[in-house]
Amino acid sequence: MTNRTTWPVVRVLRDRDAGLYLSGVVVSGFGTSALWLASGVWVKDLTGSDGLAALCVLALWLPTLAGPLLGTLADRVRRKPLLIGLNLLLGALLLTLVAVDAPGDLWLLYTVLFVYGAAGVVHDAAESALVATAVDPSLLGDFNGLRMTANEGMKLLAPMAGAGLYAAYGGASVALLDAATFVLAAGLYAVLRVREEKPAPPTGSRRERTAEGVRHLWAHPVLRPLVLAGGATMLCAGLNGAMLYAVVDDLGRSPAYAGVLYAVQGAGSIAVGLLSGTALRRLGERRFAAFGIALLALAVALRAVPSDPSALVGSAAIGAGLPAVLIAVLTSVQRETPDALLGRVTATASTLVYAPNVVGLAAGAALVELVSHRLVLVALGVVLLVTAALLRPPFTGVRPPSAGVSPSSRP
């Protein structure tokens, strides 16, 4: 029962470097998720302001908008030393947060979170590029799915651990925990057996190098429709997320019930992450993403039904459907992009896919006060179904070429 199709976990973990990468994802993801929750609670306790607490999330997300520019850094140097250096830098930076104990110190917290977010953009771009070099191409879909599973697993466990640590010892203790996870992740990257060629000296201005990655993404017949569909999906996901507490109210539940729905959604994401490698090989990236978006459409519309079973099933289906397009985009970028451009293209794709989520959350926060959330959810379901239909290629009965290594992949 441990054949290569049924158990992608075994296939990936048998690959030494892939297993080390996943260990690094688990370790650093635990610390990041713990700090993400604790930072907002920390600010709320110091100031009593919900708005200032919300700025923590903004500080972390804002650098994503500069993804195309920040991604150029991942193409200028060897990625393994860059990842080690970024993890050690963040570990040292987080140590400064032990000085935050009054409202007047919040500038330091916001600054650290902003740098944290910017370094995270570079880190993700470099990591994706190095994974494409170090991991067997046939394992990329499995790896990206398991990476999603690891991240979602940490989102379920780490916030509770972070909240407990914060309640017992304060915000500085969570910062120290996160710093330790970065140091450990740096050690895991250090023992990777990866041979990297020194990048060629950069040509042209930084603006021209940034534009080169954008042009590759936009002109590519495989990547452009996937990234556009991913951005549209994340915009709808943001709007849907803003409706969550209205859905909870409609069920006659307390706001804390949102935590149950989040947990069920996380369980759905873990499940699809385990199956994504096999699905990508059988369906190809576009068809896999289209099916995921269609499932998300039905799940979002189902949330308009005011019943606990509908809400729980809808949350699980959202967790299973949403990651499909994200995994498909990342895997396609890794397979379809030359190594010299991979950092820039990865960061650009991340910006185009994830930035709409922030816009959706902001727009949804205003819309939920003006329009029935049920109407919004049904409308989102329709938009998502249209997106899935536009993305899904016509069925020809031929095995998708992207199920393996594409002709345009790196030699």
| pLDDT average, residue stretch 144-157 | 79
Model pLDDT for residues 332-376, shown as the tens digit of each residue: 998 888 888 888 888 888 889 988 987 887 788 778 778 888 999
| pLDDT average, residue stretch 240-266 | 80
pLDDT of residue 328: 92
Query: How far is the CA of 302 from the CAs of 247, 267, 288, in angstroms?
Result: 11, 18, 21
Q: Which of 367, 287, 381 is nearest to 327 (CA)?
A: 287
| pLDDT average, residue stretch 266-295 | 89
Estimate to the nearest angstrom the gap between the alpha carbon of 187 and the chain centroid.
23
Q: With the C-alpha atoms ordered 308, 36, 18, 223, is the resulting torsion angle positive or negative?
A: positive
User: Quick check: 411 pLDDT over 50?
Assistant: no
Q: Which of 22, 280, 20 is nearest to 150 (CA)?
A: 22
Domains along the chain with CATH numbers: 1-195 (1.20.1250.20), 204-411 (1.20.1250.20)
pLDDT of residue 114: 92
Q: Which of 375, 384, 378 is nearest to 295 (CA)?
A: 384
Check: CB of residue 342 under 8 Å from CB of residue 71.
no
Model pLDDT for residues 305-326, shown as the tens digit of each residue: 988 899 999 999 999 999 999 9
Most confident of 23-32, 40-49, 203-212, 316-325: 316-325
Return the higher-pLDDT residue of 114 and 17.
Answer: 114
Q: How far apart are CA 174 and CA 89, in angstroms?
A: 17
| pLDDT average, residue stretch 248-265 | 78
In this prediction the pTM is 0.77
